[in-house]
Chain A
């Protein structure tokens, strides 16, 4: 085991590097956790929760950041695992019960991290090749990860503190963990003690001799090369995908799962009419019903068109991280709410024509209902709303996830407390 560790020694594998990369990865995890929680509570608010409606690109920003930080985790996590990989062969494998717990917690941390970023990435591709529900497991694993992160920092805190700042000398007792000088095999004596005075023979011996004869790269070159690789990899995976939400990078969006402007009326679609089973037959004779207490009023599309129209520019921002700015035209929701006599602090239930789907029915708090930018939209980018975008009418509100911007809207009902 010691021999394995020694063979894996590399100038980039030291506690200082683990601290440097670990800080970045930890920050990325925290950003993902914070933005993920925000998105979660927007979709499943706790009783009495209220949200900010400005800036109107708020959700576009938080969820775009969630996906960008998540994709940056791929090179960062792989780099972190590369640095600490020799610890897998720690000898003796288990020193005590506490040490066993520590190693088990690391295994869980590593496994859960890899699964979390993988299913998150594949979700943006809308591909679900696993035997469990995505949303629930992604949410539960987020807590497992953030707990494991705190635990990990708690266990490693002395090392983190010692290696936090760049220094020429990290104090005694750290030499064997920093760089072994090429040529001078620091661990040689230990290996000799373990195997006796001679090297193992046979295949193992030959393999080790082969590895030993491999020329090392100078420490400084190796360390700088490692850091440069991580930096360029993060820049590449982020830079070549972030254009799906961050417009200035649209031109270099070659790997993003969505492309700005691709879709009916220049807007991507998360769920098509066919996927939602909304056909011409389903929308024939459509009326929008607005209800509050005993009052119920229904409007045809023509009646809605005759009401005062408002134009807004708001993004569709999806949980999958893409977003698209668009011009919407329609009736203010608060005007409709006023017509049925709903008060300032009334929440509404929004119902779609689609038969099933977890977002067929959603709720909207009063902060969005009363917002002057919240519309029952009838037009998109100067044209009648396409069926794919929710014709005859859809919701559009500032700062909400796309799944809550109910398409094929059929009923708006006040929730009486």
Chain B
């Protein structure tokens, strides 16, 4: 795919760079994909009782809503607020703070259900499941990454300063 014809410029990306090999590969993948989907659907109705299927659909739908209507807007407005707050600060510093918050949030997303699960499900009946103090560990994690981010910001800021120009934005 080293040459892209200029004629494709006006077309949407999906339709750019046609070629026999490309068309064949796409057709194969689409057929394979459709077959996989059909098989998955069959396995689902074959092994799961009909009364349980709406629950599956509900969870898949809810997952889309939770991501598109809750997580994504939070990330977007969080980013905007952060960049405004960091107006006069170097871009690298804002990027480090942003990355740190995202890192902590992803870990929180994974660990909070773990804390909840310590009182739900099978864990209370089996002391070898979820045996750690995950709340404490999560707090320590946030502390460690906050300290790390502060150190990294200081180093990066000093470096852009030393480069003899205004901090890179």
Contacts and interface: CB of A to CB of B under 8 A. Distances in A.
Interface of A: 8, 10, 15, 71, 74-75, 78, 81-82, 85, 88, 105, 107-108, 110-112, 114-115, 118-119, 121-122, 125-133, 136-137, 139-159, 161-162, 164, 170-174, 177, 210-211, 213-218, 221-222, 224-226, 228-229, 232-233, 236-237, 240, 254-259, 262-263, 268-272, 274-275
A162 B1 contact: yes
Contacts of B155: none
Interface in B67-123: 67-68, 71-72, 75-76, 79-80, 83-84, 86-87, 91-92, 94-96, 98-99, 102-103, 106-107, 109-111, 113-114, 116-117, 120-123
Nearest to B130: A257
B17 A127 contact: no
A155 B168 CA distance: 39
Contacts of B13: 15, 158-159, 162, 173-174, 177
Contacts of A118: 63
Given A122-B117, A127-B117, A141-B44, 11 more contacts: A127-B122, A145-B40, A147-B34, A150-B29, A151-B36, A174-B13, A216-B83, A233-B106, A236-B103, A262-B131, A268-B129
Interface of B: 1, 4, 6, 8-11, 13-18, 22, 25-30, 32-41, 43-44, 47-48, 52-53, 55-56, 58-61, 63-64, 66-68, 71-72, 75-76, 79-80, 83-84, 86-87, 91-92, 94-96, 98-99, 102-103, 106-107, 109-111, 113-114, 116-117, 120-123, 125-132, 134, 137-138, 140-141, 168-169
Contacts, number: 283
A159 B29 CA distance: 15
A262 B72 CA distance: 39
B103 A232 contact: yes
Given A218-B91, A225-B96, A237-B107, A171 B4 contact: yes
Contact of B40 (A114, A126, A143, A218): A143
B30 A151 contact: yes
Contact of B126 (A82, A145, A211, A272): A272
Contact of A237 (B9, B36, B110, B127): B110
A145 B37 CA distance: 8
Contacts of A121: 110, 113
Contacts of B48: 132-133, 136-137, 140
Given A126-B122, A257-B114, A140 B106 contact: no
9 contacts: A114-B64, A125-B123, A126-B126, A130-B59, A149-B33, A154-B26, A154-B30, A159-B16, A254-B141
Given A111-B60, A111-B63, A150-B33, A143 B39 contact: yes
Given A259-B132, A275-B122, A127 B116 contact: yes
Contacts of A71: 110
A177 B12 CA distance: 11
Most buried by A among B60, B107, B114, B128: B128
A173 B11 contact: yes
B129 A257 contact: yes
Nearest to A162: B1
Given A85-B72, A159-B14, A214-B80, A222 B1 contact: no
